[in-house]
Chains A and B, each alone.
Chain A
Amino acid sequence: MAKKTNSAGQTFIAGLWEENPVFRLLLGMCPTLAVTTAVKPSLTMGVSVIFVLVCSNIVVSLMRDLLKPHLRILMFTLTIATFVTIADLFLKAFLPEMSAKLGPYIPLIIVNCLIICRAEACASQNGLYISVIDAFGMGLGFTLVLCLLGAIRELLAVGTIFEIPVMWQSFAPWAAMRMPVGAFITLGLLLGGVNLITRKKA
């Protein structure tokens, strides 16, 4: 793979829209669908992913000259597993209800295709600075999508955003939004919408 020569600013913005991990690269679907029942868990998951992504990109970038081809993926995975353990313990200690709600999806960040892909595609080939910027961009893009999905589902399912009531009193909540059904269909429609926008631009 050729070395990217994008500027830092371009790399950051790319993670937010052009190469948005969920909408364009279709990575990290599992947590996207699982935790977006409301904005709070979405935000927690998003921030955890940013933390793990940035730390792992730093470590991978620092050790990129030592990586043997066969053991690459294993090294990435072990690094990521370490940081996820840290994040998980942190959440368990300081945000226990949120940790209980997110359940096994925090450790599942380890196998989140997003983080491994960025380690493979970016951190193992570029210097420290670009890797960190890329991690922040991708992580932020991911968090924004999660919060968007979470906001839509929370709004329609319970009428609140971030637990602040927003909808009018007589609003009949759409309980399906809180269930897997709502997750799949909302994400599908959002992706369709994004495709529509990008197709019009092209």
Chain B
Amino acid sequence: MAFASIVIVNNLVFTKFLGICPYLGVSGRIDMAFGMGMAVTFVVTLAGTLTWLIDHLILMPYGLEVTRYICFILVIAGAVQLVEMYLRKFFPKLYESFGIFLPLITTNCAILGLCLFINLWGIDDFLEAVVLSFGAGIGFTLAICIMAGIRENLKMADVPESLEGAPITLITAGLLTMAFMGFSGMIK
């Protein structure tokens, strides 16, 4: 249930405005979009899980909440670095296909945003945190692939010159958001 909720009803891009920068930048083609989505899913699942663990096992018991943001961002940066090194060593093909996306993901608001939301929603169950993280990544992938599909078709449409690029993408995103609004209330 939590999985379906975060993928569709509380989609990170459409309802929480997270990951907009890569969303606008990388949604030009479906294959790039999918690659970015997979990279984000990979990192966000890892980051969400790690930060939940650190938060519940170290920060809260010892009253160190004030260092939360610094800890989270360190974990995320470290996780991305490790993932990058690991992939480069053991799965070079996969590393090639991720390309420059991996380093970009560190500053992706979606990752830190998700970690903070898990914190905000008071998720006490480890499994739920993992499922939410994974779902968030899948939701992002879904959103960015839909957008890529639309933009590929937009290239053949007659868009007014001033609206080309970012403006029309934003307007399209708005319409997509409206469509996704139809799901709200379906799942708690």
- B109 close to A33 (CB less than 8 A): no
B107 pairs with A116, CB closer than 8 A: yes
Tell me whether A113 and B167 are in contact in the complex, defined as CB-CB below 8 angstroms, given that A181-B174, A184-B174 are known contacts. Answer: no
Asked if A191 and B116 sit within 8 Å, CB to CB, the answer is no
User: Is B17 at the interface (CB under 8 A from chain A)?
Assistant: yes
A85 adjacent to chain B (CB < 8 Å): yes
Q: Is B107 a contact of A104 with CB atoms below 8 Å?
A: no
Q: What size tier do the contact residues of chain B reach?
A: 35 or more
Which residues of B are found within 8 Å of A74, using beta-carbon distances? 77
Q: Which residue of A lies closest to B78 (CB)?
A: A74
Contact with B along A158-202 (1 / 0, CB 8 A): 000000000000000000100111111101110111011001000
A187–B113 touching, CB < 8 Å: no
Is the CB–CB distance between B166 and A191 below 8 Å?
yes
User: Do the beta carbons of A107 and B112 come within 8 Å of each other?
Assistant: yes
If A107-B116, A188-B168, A192-B163 touch, does A77 touch B73 (CB 8 Å cutoff)? yes
Interface residues of B in 145-176 (CB under 8 A from A): 160-164, 166-171, 173-175
From B112, B167, B181, name the one whose CB has the most chain A CB atoms within 10 angstroms: B167
A140 to B173, CA, bound (A): 27
Cβ-based interface call for A10 (8 A): no
Contact of A184 among B67, B113, B170 (CB under 8 A): B170
Chain B residues lying within 8 Å of A29, measured Cβ to Cβ, are 17, 20-21, 24
**B70 CB–A CB distance under 8 Å:** yes
A interface list, Cβ under 8 A from B? 26-27, 29-31, 33-34, 73-74, 77-78, 81-82, 84-85, 88-89, 103-104, 107-108, 110-113, 116, 176, 179-185, 187-189, 191-193, 195-196, 199
B-side residues, CB < 8 A to A, are 14-21, 24, 66-70, 73-74, 77, 106-109, 111-113, 116-117, 120, 160-164, 166-171, 173-175, 177-178, 181
